[in-house]
């Protein structure tokens, strides 16, 4: 069984959408998405600098737009995959890919999500860092001492932590034994209590969206379980804003389901990297540019 995975915030790099605009229909699709969010995603995906596309209000729609363009480029082969999941904001892409939300509603949701999280992040200076290696129990104890929170349990020996910038700096200066701390290019402490102000408004907005039950198996960041109800999946996406992402449990569910290959949508790379450590031996394809589509087709076709 081949599954599609959609990456989260932090995967974007300057100019990454440029090669996608050469695909037939891609410029029109991106233009329509740009109109839907009121942001020129074509410009941000081709000419904007790293600081500009780090802005949460820009980054989240940009990442989802890239995923939707990649899904469209997969064409009829999407019907041959066995499931889909997204990491953090990638769950919005996955919801569209599974038919839970229309592309228009997915874009509207991510627009509101990005705005709400940016507003919450502006209340206090916070950030996130990836911690690689070490003992998890020792790390969690250290986080509690510093007032930091685990935000993403990514599997493969990686946990992303979040909180106040001075506390993150202290963790980097005095890391837990056996760990490496890498600051991330994000604008706030996502998936923690700092994002709670974003939840209520997003919940109200999501209530007005039309939801459908998934046409593909889809797994949630909440606990890695498969979700059968479209309405419930959207509720989980809202709550995910201020709760940890359990990608480690998603990968465990992949293993239990017998996943035989993983295709990561643009801007790809992060999730196949985690899979290489957490799902050793499972073939992966990172679709970073249209040149990678042939490898994705071959994986789906079993070649």
**What letter would DSSP give residue 123?**
T
* Domain finish residue from 183, 204, 230: 183
Residue 212 sits in the same domain as residue 271: yes
Residue-wise pLDDT tens digits, 196-207: 999 999 999 999
Residues 6+ apart with CB under 8 A from 225: 219, 249, 253
pLDDT value, residue 150: 97
Same domain, 89 and 163: no
**In this structure, are 267 and 153 located in the same domain?**
no
- To the query of whether residue 88 is one of the catalytic residues in this protein, the response is yes
What CATH code is carried by the domain that includes residue 155? 3.30.70.250
Q: What is the mean pLDDT of the chain?
A: 95
Cα separation, 272 vs 290, in Å, equals: 17
Region 276-287: mean pLDDT is 95
Higher pLDDT, 37 or 69: 69
Q: Among 137, 161, 183, which residue terminates a domain?
A: 183
Active-site position among 11, 191, 243, 253? 191
- Say how far apart CA 92 and CA 113 lie, in whole Å: 10
For 158, phi then psi, to 5°, come to -125, 130
- Match 């599609």 to its residue by tokens: 4
Structure confidence at residue 54 (pLDDT): 87
Instruction: Map residue 247 onto helix, strand or coil.
Output: helix
State the Cα–Cα distance between residues 24 and 33, nearest whole angstrom.
Answer: 16
CA distance 59 to 64: 9
Q: Which residue in 48, 88, 149, 253 is the catalytic one?
A: 88
Indicate if 102 belongs to the active site: no
The answer to whether residues 69 and 198 belong to one domain is yes
d(CA 303, CA 107): 34
Q: Which domain holds residue 288?
A: 2-122+192-301
Judge contact between 90 and 67, C-beta under 8 A.
yes
Same domain, 175 and 250: no
Closest CA to 67 of 135, 7, 126: 7
pLDDT in tens, 81-106: 999 999 999 999 999 999 999 999 99
Q: Tens digits of per-residue pLDDT, 201-253? A: 999 999 999 999 999 999 999 999 999 999 999 999 999 999 999 999 999 99
Number of independent structural domains in the chain: 2
pTM of the model: 0.94
Let me know whether 241 and 162 are in one domain: no
Three-state DSSP class for 83? Answer: strand
The reply to whether 26 and 131 lie within a common domain is no
Q: 291: Cβ–Cβ under 8 A, 6 or more apart, which residues?
A: 19
């Amino acid at each position: 069984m081949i599954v599609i995975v959609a990456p989260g915030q932090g995967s974007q790099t300057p100019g990454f959408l440029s090669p996608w605009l050469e695909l037939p229909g891609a410029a029109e699709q991106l233009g329509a998405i740009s109109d839907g969010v009121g942001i020129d995603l074509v410009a941000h995906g081709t000419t904007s600098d790293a600081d500009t596309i780090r802005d949460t209000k820009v980054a989240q729609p940009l990442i989802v737009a890239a995923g939707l363009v990649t899904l469209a480029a997969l064409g009829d082969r999407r019907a041959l995959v066995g499931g889909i999941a997204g990491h953090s904001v990638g769950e919005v892409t996955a919801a569209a890919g599974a038919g839970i939300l229309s592309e228009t509603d997915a874009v509207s949701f991510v627009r509101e999500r990005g705005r709400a999280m940016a507003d919450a992040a502006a209340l206090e200076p916070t950030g996130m860092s990836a911690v690689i290696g070490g003992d998890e129990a020792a790390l969690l104890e250290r986080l509690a001492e510093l007032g930091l929170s685990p935000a993403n349990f990514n599997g493969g020996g990686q946990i992303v932590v979040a909180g106040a910038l001075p506390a993150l700096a202290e963790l980097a200066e005095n890391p837990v034994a056996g760990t490496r701390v890498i600051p991330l290019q994000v604008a706030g402490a996502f998936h923690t209590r700092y994002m709670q102000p974003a939840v209520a408004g997003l919940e109200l907005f999501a209530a007005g969206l039309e939801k459908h039950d998934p046409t593909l198996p889809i797994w949630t960041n909440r606990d890695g379980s498969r979700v059968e109800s479209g309405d419930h999946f959207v509720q989980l996406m809202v709550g995910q804003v201020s709760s940890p992402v359990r990608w480690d449990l998603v990968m465990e569910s992949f293993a239990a389901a017998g996943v035989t290959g993983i295709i990561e949508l643009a801007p790809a790379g992060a999730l196949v990297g985690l899979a290489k450590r957490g799902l050793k031996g499972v073939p992966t394809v990172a679709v970073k540019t249209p040149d990678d589509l042939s490898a994705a087709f071959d994986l789906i076709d079993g070649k």
